[in-house]
């Protein structure tokens, strides 16, 4: 059985594995549940200065990653055809839990980490790079975004998390934010655990958790609540 593989193209391979080398992801990496390779884009540069960027066509500030250099780096990675080719980009498709599940269920991914003002559009088109965003903000480069994507995928791989049901009740699992969690002590600075959670009535606990999750989602993520309501309507109509 093949393992899940992440191949990262970056100007800073020394950033990896970074946080991916500790905790759940790190243990899974050490045990061979998944594999990580960080490849230096500069290795595909053609001059003695290992130049990978140039000024933007049409003028403007900053620099742009050259199409020919990045294409050579992608080709040298020799990723399996079945692996998606992703470019971490603030203008990309938002990463969602359903998208993470789909990636985690596949063979892995080749992930390009952009820098400077971006990547020459021609290599995005020529190498079929799918742009992916982890949020509506701009980072210095794609490395941190790539780590977030990889971590989200790795934790869903079989054998990584302690209990399979752990991921089933997390935020976004049913287009809902996760309900509030509590543990010992029973009383903390005058605040107590809701009585229903210590009642032993599992049906009431489940109902309470669902109601809390729905209330939080309505208040904090009305966009998700709309999607949930649409999903219910489609199910009913079907």
Structure confidence at residue 13 (pLDDT) = 98
Predicted model pTM: 0.90
Determine the average pLDDT of the residues in 210-236: 89
The answer to whether the Cα torsion of 8, 12, 17, 19 is positive or negative is: negative
Whole-number Å distance between alpha carbons of 88 and 172: 21
pLDDT confidence bin for 235, thresholds 50/70/90: low
E strand or H helix that includes residue 209: helix 202-220
Which CATH number does 169-237 carry? Answer: 1.10.1270.20
Q: How many CB atoms lie within 10 A of CB 157?
A: 17
pLDDT tens per residue across span 92-140: 999 999 999 999 999 999 999 999 999 999 999 999 999 999 999 999 9
Domain 4-154 has CATH 3.40.1280.10: yes
Across the chain, mean pLDDT equals 93
Q: Is 217 helix (H, G, I), strand (E, B) or coil?
A: helix
Boundaries of every domain in the chain: 4-154, 169-237
Beta pairing class for 64-65 and 53-54 = antiparallel
pLDDT tens per residue across span 132-183: 999 999 999 999 999 999 999 999 999 999 765 455 566 676 789 999 999 9
Structure confidence at residue 1 (pLDDT) = 60
How many separate helices (H) and strands (E) can be counted in the chain? 8, 9
Structure confidence at residue 173 (pLDDT) = 65
User: Strand pairing partners for 6?
Assistant: 36, 109
Structure confidence at residue 63 (pLDDT) = 96
């Amino acid at each position: 059985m093949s393992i899940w593989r992440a191949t990262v193209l970056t100007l800073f391979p020394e950033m990896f594995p970074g946080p991916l080398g500790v905790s759940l992801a790190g243990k899974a990496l050490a045990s061979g549940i998944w594999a990580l390779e960080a490849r230096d884009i500069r290795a595909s540069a053609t001059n003695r200065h290992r130049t990978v960027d140039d000024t933007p066509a049409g003028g403007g500030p900053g620099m742009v990653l050259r199409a020919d250099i990045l294409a050579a780096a992608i080709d040298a990675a020799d990723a399996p055809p079945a692996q998606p080719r992703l470019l971490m980009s603030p203008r990309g498709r938002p990463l969602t839990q359903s998208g993470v599940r789909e990636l985690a269920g596949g063979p892995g991914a080749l992930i390009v980490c952009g820098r400077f003002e971006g990547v020459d559009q021609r290599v995005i088109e020529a190498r079929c790079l799918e742009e992916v965003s982890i949020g509506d903000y701009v980072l210095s480069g794609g490395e941190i975004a790539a780590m977030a994507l990889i971590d989200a995928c790795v934790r869903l791989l079989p054998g990584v998390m302690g209990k399979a049901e752990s991921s089933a009740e997390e935020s976004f699992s049913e287009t809902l934010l996760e309900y509030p969690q509590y543990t010992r002590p029973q009383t903390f600075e005058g605040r107590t655990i809701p009585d229903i959670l210590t009642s032993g009535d599992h049906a009431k606990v489940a109902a309470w958790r669902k109601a809390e999750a729905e209330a939080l989602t309505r208040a904090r993520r009305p966009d998700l609540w709309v999607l949930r309501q649409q999903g219910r309507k489609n199910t009913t109509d079907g």
